Amino acid sequence: MGGNMQRREFIGLLGGAVAWPMAARAQQGERMRRVGILLPAAADDAVWQARVGAFQQGLALLGWTIGRNVRIETRWATTNATELRRQAAELVVLAPDVILSAGTSPVGPLLQATRTVPIVFVHVIDPVGTVDSLARPGGNATGFSNMEYSLSGKWLELLKEIAPGVRRAAVLRDATQGFATSQFASIQAVAPSLRVEVNPVDMRDAGEIERAVAAFARSPNGGLIVTASGSGIRHRNLIITLATRHKLPAVYFDRVFVAAGGLVSYGADLIEEYRLAAGYIDRILKGEKPADLPVQAPTKYETVVNLKTAKALGLTVPQALLARADEVIE
């Protein structure tokens, strides 16, 4: 059945009444499958809702209809480690056919809770250690990583390109995650050649971020880099507000920051990863094993620039940067 047929059927199902007889007929012959989702976020976070929406849309295009042949159990665990462990264990007890693990922090707790239930992870920053090898994961987990560490150095290059006057950069990171050190090391490695001094800033809570950024902004020629983490997403509005208040040019790892008023971002297209994850989950529900599905790196990185924010900071965005930007917000 071609993609267009499925798409029409999906739209038909959304149309409701007309499609019900068809759905009822299918229900008798089909076995209900269970998909668990574990998210390191609060349930009212629009960014995460959009990601889950893309995943569900991906499943629908592959013929999975919620309530007809698939049931989805979603757990919103925030980024609290204890809460993540509890929700991971609860999800495993439900014995789903497969679990979608979103972000780096839920993967560990899920693997502690089960070595048998298949797990598909998305935007995991460093899958080495989670799987035997990227080509042949070997265990019960596989999925999609959202960056290589060398990418982190590009954030500082981008900051220097859009704000050549920057001499110091505060690097916001989630120090509770092992990958934070590696991201910072990559930024540090390119700093001398760009003649920028870099300072790590931990993102434990809102108060800490606010104090650190205010202290950093007291000296001139500063800029911010927000490295990839769930904490960054959780505190995004605060970080964007502080960057604006202290007139600091800032580079982010995800376009959601720039859409909300941040200056510039460079990172993988995460929504696309959720659609791809739907493909892996479909294959697992049809009998394939995570051990045989290779871990995939992003195929596409995107640069997004907010011209209004650049103007407010008194910056002229270089023509070369505008030319290669995937999206320009006016």
CATH number at residue 100: 3.40.50.2300
Q: Are residue 105 and residue 205 in the same domain, yes or no? A: no
Whether residue 219 is contained in a domain is answered as yes
Q: Are residue 142 and residue 36 in the same domain, yes or no? A: yes
Q: DSSP string of 84-137?
A: HHHHHHHHHHT--SEEEEESSTTHHHHHHH-SSS-EEEEEES--BTTBS-SS--
Q: How many domains does the chain have?
A: 2
Whether residue 223 is contained in a domain is answered as yes
Q: Are residue 95 and residue 67 in the same domain, yes or no? A: yes
Per-residue pLDDT of the chain (330 residues; tens, 9 = 90+): 444 444 444 444 444 444 444 444 444 557 899 999 999 988 888 889 999 999 999 999 999 999 999 999 999 988 788 999 999 999 999 999 999 999 888 998 999 999 999 999 998 877 777 788 888 888 999 999 876 777 889 999 999 999 999 999 999 998 887 778 888 999 999 999 999 999 999 998 899 999 999 999 999 999 999 998 888 888 999 999 999 999 999 999 999 999 999 999 999 888 889 999 999 999 999 999 999 999 998 878 999 999 999 999 999 999 999 999 999 999
Judged by DSSP in three states, 257 sits in helix
Which residue type, as a one-letter code, is found at position 314? G
What pLDDT does 7 receive? 46
Q: Are residue 130 and residue 79 in the same domain, yes or no? A: yes
CA distances from 327 to 236, 259, 321, 322 (A): 20, 10, 11, 9
Give the C-alpha separation, 291 to 300, whole Å: 24
Q: Are residue 282 and residue 163 in the same domain, yes or no? A: no
Whether residue 22 is contained in a domain is answered as no
The token duo for 106 is 């839920």
CB 194 within 8 A of CB 251: no
Q: Are residue 189 and residue 221 in the same domain, yes or no? A: yes
Give the C-alpha separation, 154 to 177, whole Å: 21
Q: Are residue 182 and residue 308 in the same domain, yes or no? A: yes
Whether residue 124 is contained in a domain is answered as yes
Domain limits for position 218: 150-268+302-329
Judged by DSSP in three states, 47 sits in helix
Q: Are residue 173 and residue 263 in the same domain, yes or no? A: yes
Whether residue 80 is contained in a domain is answered as yes
pTM of the model: 0.81
Q: Are residue 312 and residue 241 in the same domain, yes or no? A: yes
Whether residue 26 is contained in a domain is answered as no
Q: Which residues contact 268 (CB under 8 A, 6 or more apart)?
A: 123, 146, 147, 298, 300, 301, 302
Return the closest-CA partner of residue 173 out of 164, 186, 163: 186
Q: Are residue 220 and residue 315 in the same domain, yes or no? A: yes
Whether residue 9 is contained in a domain is answered as no
Q: Are residue 98 and residue 85 in the same domain, yes or no? A: yes
Q: Are residue 130 and residue 234 in the same domain, yes or no? A: no
Whether residue 125 is contained in a domain is answered as yes
